Amino acid sequence: MQKIQNYINGELIDPTSSEYIDNYNPAKGEVYSLIPDSTEEDVELAISAAKSAFRSWSETPKEIRSDYLLKISQKIEERLEEFALAESIDNGKPLSLARKVDIPRAAKNFRFYSSAIVHFESESHYMELGAINYTLRKAIGVTACISPWNLPLYLFSWKIAPAIAAGNCVVAKPSEITPMTAYLLSKVCIEVGLPKGVLNIVHGYGHKVGNALSESNDVPVISFTGGTKTGETIARIAAPKFKKLSLELGGKNPCIIFDDADYDKVLDTTVRSAFANQGQICLCSSRIFVQDKMYEKFKRDFVHRVKALKVGNPNENGTDQGALVSKSHMEKVLGYIDLAKEEGGTVLCGGKQVDLSEQGLNGWFVEPTLIEGLSYDCRTNQEEIFGPVATITPFKTEEEVLMYANSTEYGLAATLWTSNLSRAHRMANELHSGIVWINCWLLRDLRTPFGGVKNSGVGREGGFEALRFFTEPKNVCIQY
């Protein structure tokens, strides 16, 4: 069986413990490879490699760092099919999605920061007293990048690219649930000759590898994407050590549809925004609010469209919904559907596990599920489910729906559908959310700030925000 290796100091190596974790194919429900069960010892090796490489890498001209990023991007593009297939097998997502979204975006992340770093500027402030201040923005040192399983390479590279572009050396930890494309990335880094120690990838559990990175006094910066509880654990460890922290956490995103919305567009897009990647995107619309005049028609047509989504083999053309990432995650999602029923909800479509064992797929498939009749403040409408489950609720007025939308502890991405320009701006201003999409969803310009408010996170990724995060500003004041 294939054994994944850590990538430390430019080499692929086995974990010091010689212990491995089972890696499952979620569509088949069976183990297909082994992941290093790395320990603090492996993390120490990686940190030490990153520390040794730091001076030279941070002093390497940015144009040269930029070239390495571009080469990595090109290699991923050349191997698109291999990466996409690996992502689909590892995560359970449709191959078509990995081919169209995940892998092209991972390549784009490296390409974007290869360009951004050469355009990154620092400020200067002139004083009439005869002095000038200028800001140096220097790489900080060893950076930890910890990422989740839902968009494995996409989110992993979204951290690594700006961190190394800015001149830091990285110890990165992909999710132990989806390690494969991070392993392929380490091979790409070897192929392009990325200097040793600049990027190190240590596989394994969060409570071992992730925890060792959070604890280490040699890691002053942590960029984390994952669950809100895990973010809290990391923050507890990192805060007394005054580490720089970026936390991209959970969401419970509202999709607000007014009567005057472009009907066909809203219908098409909401099927995607609620159920893309089996609803396992932090930006997915999990609470759909529809204005009363349109409600019944929208509900009927939406249910029809959701029922038509094909749950099936992720590797087959025509599959819309693949497998959920793990058995325990599927059980959590099914548990929330039971809770919704207990809370008085009516399942309009879906609601059950899908048995595809006749096709040799003994994995974790769940029907896309829509639930009606719940109050805005019940647990189903307040807690993150992170699966193919959405609720639908009617509303009358702007004030009412704003109250519903802003009622959760989360504030990541809101989607708003209206043709009334004034209302669109007014609502965008009032929504407690780091991102607002109006008449679109997941339309991404990588230059824009990305992140959430409230329990959805601290800090912003994207564009120059990420380059600012991965550098330390120092003001120099000269009087002349």
Within 240-299, the residues that bind ligand NAD by CB under 6 A are 248-251, 282
- Find the binder of ligand NAD among 23, 143, 181, 225 (CB under 6 A): 225
Strand partners, 288: 255, 392
Give yes or no for a contact between 392 and 370, defined as CB atoms under 8 angstroms apart: yes
CA distance 210 to 261: 44
Smallest distance from ligand NAD to CB 259, Å: 30
Tell me, residue by residue from 160 to 199, as one string, x for binding to ligand NAD by CB under 6 A and - for no binding: -------------x-xx-----------------------
- Find the binder of ligand NAD among 117, 170, 389, 412 (CB under 6 A): 412
Beta strand 413-417 with 253-257 is: parallel
Give yes or no for a contact between 337 and 347, defined as CB atoms under 8 angstroms apart: yes
Tokens representing residue 194 in the block: 């990325």
Comparing CB distances to ligand NAD, the nearer of 141 and 457 is 457
CA distance 373 to 77: 46
Q: Is 234 in the site for ligand NAD (CB under 6 A)?
A: yes
- Find the binder of ligand NAD among 146, 290, 294, 340 (CB under 6 A): 146
CA distance 81 to 223: 29
The one segment of 57-65, 128-136, 187-195, 203-211 that binds ligand NAD by CB under 6 A: 203-211
Tokens representing residue 477 in the block: 């004041």
Smallest distance from ligand NAD to CB 253, Å: 10
The one segment of 13-21, 141-149, 343-351, 391-399 that binds ligand NAD by CB under 6 A: 141-149
Comparing CB distances to ligand NAD, the nearer of 373 and 449 is 449
Comparing CB distances to ligand NAD, the nearer of 197 and 206 is 206
Q: Is 384 in the site for ligand NAD (CB under 6 A)?
A: yes
Within 386-405, the residues that bind ligand NAD by CB under 6 A are 386
Smallest distance from ligand NAD to CB 461, Å: 7
Instruction: Tell which phi-psi region holds residue 61, choosing left (phi > 0), alpha (psi between -120 and 50) or beta.
Output: beta
Smallest distance from ligand NAD to CB 457, Å: 5
Tokens representing residue 287 in the block: 């609470």
Catalytic-residue membership of 255: no
**Which residues neighbour 335 within 8 Å (Cβ) at sequence distance 6 or greater?**
none
* Candidates 87, 176, 248, 384; catalytic one: 248
Comparing CB distances to ligand NAD, the nearer of 73 and 147 is 147
The one segment of 4-12, 143-151, 191-199, 437-445 that binds ligand NAD by CB under 6 A: 143-151
What b/e sequence results for 350-366 when a residue is b if at least 16 CB atoms lie within 10 Å of its CB, and e otherwise? bbebbebeeeebebbbb
* Candidates 145, 169, 282, 284; catalytic one: 282
Q: What kind and span of H or E run contains 132?
A: strand 131-139
Beginning with the edge strand found earlier in the chain, give each strand of the sheet holding 389-395 in spatial order: 346-349, 369-372, 389-395, 285-291, 253-257, 413-417, 435-438
Smallest distance from ligand NAD to CB 383, Å: 11
Instruction: Tell which phi-psi region holds residue 41, choosing left (phi > 0), alpha (psi between -120 and 50) or beta.
Output: alpha
Q: Is 382 in the site for ligand NAD (CB under 6 A)?
A: no
Tokens representing residue 323 in the block: 């497998």
SS3 state of residue 233:
helix
Give yes or no for a contact between 339 and 345, defined as CB atoms under 8 angstroms apart: no
Comparing CB distances to ligand NAD, the nearer of 349 and 442 is 442
Catalytic-residue membership of 384: no
Amino acid present at 398: E
* Enzyme catalytic residues: 248, 282
| Residues of the shown chain interacting with ligand NAD in the complex, contacts defined by CB under 6 A | 146-150, 155, 173, 175-176, 206-207, 210-211, 214, 225-227, 230, 233-234, 248-251, 282, 384, 386, 412, 452, 456-457
